[in-house]
Structures are given as C-alpha cells and as structure tokens.
Structure 1
Amino acid sequence: MCGRPAGAHDHPAGPPGRPAGLRERKKRRTRDALLHTALDLFTTQGYEETTVDEIVDAVEVSQRTFFRYFAGKEAAALAIQEIVESHFLLELRRRPAAETPFEALRGAVFCTWNSISEAIEAAVPVELHLRTYRMIESTPSLLAAHLRRSAELENQVALLIAEREGLDMETDPRPRVAVAAFSGVIRVTEKLWARGQDSSMDSLRAMTEAHLDQLGPALAGNWRAGVDTEQG
C-alpha cells in the first residue's frame, strides 16, 4: 500500500498528489534549475570552491531568489536527502497498523522511491544524484551534516515505531534498536550502490531488497551451522 505517486504536476519537496498551478510550476522550475546547477558545480569544481554568486549567475537569477529556496549551499547540497526523508516519514505514517515494525519500515522505503523517484529525476538525473552522494561522502563538512540529519531522522522514526506499537521508547529499547539496524542496512546499500557500475535506481532497489532479506538471518541465525555440518 503506497501513496499516490508524485507526477509531473507535483513538487518533489511538497505533499504528494497536490496539483500545482502556473505560479507553482514556475517556482518549481526555478528551484529545480538552481538545484541542478548547484549540484553540478559542487561535483565538478568542489563544494567549498563554489560560491552562491556562481550558481545564481549560471541560472540568471538573483541571490535573493536563491535564498528564497535554500538557506545556503549546505541546504542545496542536502536537498535531495531532505526530500527523501520527508516523504519516508509520510509513507511510514501511512503503513497499515497490522504490519510489524520491519514490514512497515521496508514498505515505507520502497513506497518513498515509487512516489518521488520520477519527480526527483526530472530535476536531478540519477548520474548527478550519484555524483552528489559521492561528493557528500568526501566533503567533511557535508558528511558531518548528512550524518547529523540521519541521526535526527532515526530518532523521529524510532518515535513513530514506538507510537505504532504502543511502547515507551524511554523504557523499551526495541524501537531504537530496530531502526538502528534498518538504517545501517540502508546506509550500507547506498555505499555499495555509489561504488558500483550500475547507477540506476532499479539497481539500488534490488540491492536494498537483497540486504534487507538477510537482516533477520544475520542477526538471529547461526552462521557456522552450515560450515560445521559440512566439516562433520
């Protein structure tokens, strides 16, 4: 069960399913142009070396216009992360109450990709998204901001899981443990995807599914059972 996919008339950073008028479409095009240009400059000449002036000059808008959409360079560099996070939280809140925590988390991840991948790719091609991920990982200030945001997201998700299950997160560690394990898998697959040859979203999805399938066995299984049987 997923929310309605975001289409050509939806802003990727806004609520899915809300049609945009002419003014909103113009604003979206300006924001997309600024985002695309900023990420392209960041990944080609360096984040620290790129100025806001260079970004706005390339798009032919004012600095005031840039700051209308982004608080600064860091906000532009992490804009895709922000979009994904907000939609993931929305999808997690929509998951059926009967699902287990891991089922809800897994379903929310894939529904998020289904609902926003097309809208994001319209503004930022997958190849540029991949370059941006690598740039964030190799830029200390951005990596620190990325990890800080990820930790904040984990806390929000754990609170949602605790609420779903009727638990007090201060006395029951399971929501935090479950989210930490799930988030670890997501981060591992993102890193593998960024290093791989296939940069498609289908590749990321398949890799994520394969690793999530191994989460239960990796945590609960006896890894040496098969080895001991063969040796015996």
Structure 2
Amino acid sequence: METLRELKKRRTREALLRAALELFTTQGYEQTTVDEIAEAVDVSQRTFFRYFAGKEDVAFAVQQTTEAAFVAAVRARPPQEAPMQALRQAFLEGWDAIRETVESAVPVELYLRMYRTIDSTPALLAAHLRRSAAAEETIARALAEREGVDVDADPRPRLAVAVFGGVIRVSERQWSTSEDLGLESIRTLTASYLDQLGSALTGSWRAG
C-alpha cells in the first residue's frame, strides 16, 4: 500500500517529468532550463535534483523505465525458447506492460512528440544512441545469463541483440514517419519486421 509520503513523491516526479517533456517539445531542449521545469511545477531547483540528475535524465526517464521492463521480460521467458524467439516474445507479449508504463508516466501524445524531439535534436539523438548501446549491452548480458554462456567469450548474445536492436530502430524510424502514430502500430510494425528477419538475412531478394 502506497503511503501518503510515497504518493506525494510519485506525483511530484510525474509532474516534473510531464512539465519537462512539454517544455522540451514546445520550446526546444536546448532552450529549456532546469529552473523553468521546476517553476512549471512550483517547486525548487533543489527538488528537481532530488528526482532527476539533470535535463538528459528527465528526457529519457520513460525510455529507461520501458527498457528495464523489457530486460525483466527477457529474463522471465521460458527456458526452452530459442534466444531470438525469447527476445521477440518478450517484446510482443510484454507490450501491454510497456504501454501501461508509458501511459502511466505521460500522455501518449506527449511521448510521441518527445520521440520526434529526440530525433531532431543533435544532443538528444547522440544521447539516445549512447543509451541504446548501453541498453543493448544490458540485454546481451541478460540473454547470456539466461542461456548459460559467457558474454565476453561467446559473441552470440551481443550478435543476437545487435540484430534485434537493429529491427527495433528500423521499426521506430518507419513508425515515426508514418501517419499512424499510435503505440499499437509500432508493435504491429515491429512484429512484421521481425517476421521478415530470417528471409532478409538468408534469402534471395531478387525476383525470379
């Protein structure tokens, strides 16, 4: 049961997160200061830093939570599943939990706007790529642990995650430029691209 103190802290964090993303997406990431974010919620700068290390931390807070949920889903997959199947099913079957994580933190429309802001802001895009590499390493280590192999001696966990991560990036890029920007559409698109992975890697692309 959440105590009153815990509830207040959670609501303050959520308010800071939403205010930050709203400011980032309307006036620009570089143009937004921590003071402005704090002022939007009527708290002090000191209070902001109790919840977030800085602007980059708050910009990627939702993604960090969804990545943690995905790693947990990978670890929870049945042991008989092949590694790539485990990654696929962790994403597809865990999608409702991932979506709920997003929706409980910020409005979906704001999340989608922030995604585009990251893509169009050099500093954020660089941070996104750096964080994605770190996340892939975490997933590779989780996969290696699941399969009982040494991630530093066996290249397969990192290779599998690199391929899977590539599919996710291609899906995100296609999704962000499409007309249908609903969260369910990226799940459908990713499932379609994952289904085409085998033929893309090993099949012939030429007709006839």
TM-score bracket, shorter-length normalisation? over 0.9
**In the alignment, which of 45, 57, 61 is matched to residue 63 of structure 1?**
45
d(CA) in 1 for partners of 2:94 and 2:13?
Answer: 21
Deviation at 1:120, TM superposition (A): 2.3
Deviation at 1:21, TM superposition (A): 2.9
1:121–1:217 distance in 2 versus 1, CA, 3 Å: same
Identical-pair percentage? 60
1:37 aligned onto 2:19: yes
Instruction: Name the structure 1 match of 2:114.
Output: 132
d(CA) in 1 for partners of 2:156 and 2:100?
Answer: 34
Instruction: Name the structure 1 match of 2:139.
Output: 157
Deviation at 1:111, TM superposition (A): 3.9
Number of aligned positions between the proteins: 208
Scaled by the length of structure 1, the TM-score of the pair is: 0.85
1:162, 1:169 within 8 Å by CA — same for their partners in 2? yes
CA RMSD between the two structures? 1.5
d(CA) in 2 for partners of 1:196 and 1:69?
Answer: 34
Deviation at 1:137, TM superposition (A): 1.3
Deviation at 1:170, TM superposition (A): 3.1
Q: Which has the larger radius of gyration?
A: 1
Deviation at 1:86, TM superposition (A): 1.0
Map 1:202-213 → 2, pairs under 5 A: 202-213=184-195
d(CA) in 2 for partners of 1:122 and 1:167?
Answer: 36
**In the alignment, which of 73, 78, 88 is matched to residue 60 of structure 2?**
78
Deviation at 1:164, TM superposition (A): 2.1
Q: Secondary structure of 1:169's match?
A: coil
1:84, 1:112 within 8 Å by CA — same for their partners in 2? no
Instruction: Name the structure 1 match of 2:176.
Output: 194
d(CA) in 1 for partners of 2:92 and 2:3?
Answer: 28
Deviation at 1:82, TM superposition (A): 0.7
1:108 aligned onto 2:90: yes
d(CA) in 1 for partners of 2:200 and 2:56?
Answer: 36
For 1:76, the aligned partner's letter is: V
1:56, 1:62 within 8 Å by CA — same for their partners in 2? yes
d(CA) in 2 for partners of 1:153 and 1:94?
Answer: 17
Larger mean Cα displacement after TM superposition, 193-202 or 37-46: 193-202
1:90 aligned onto 2:72: yes
Deviation at 1:166, TM superposition (A): 2.5
d(CA) in 2 for partners of 1:171 and 1:70?
Answer: 36
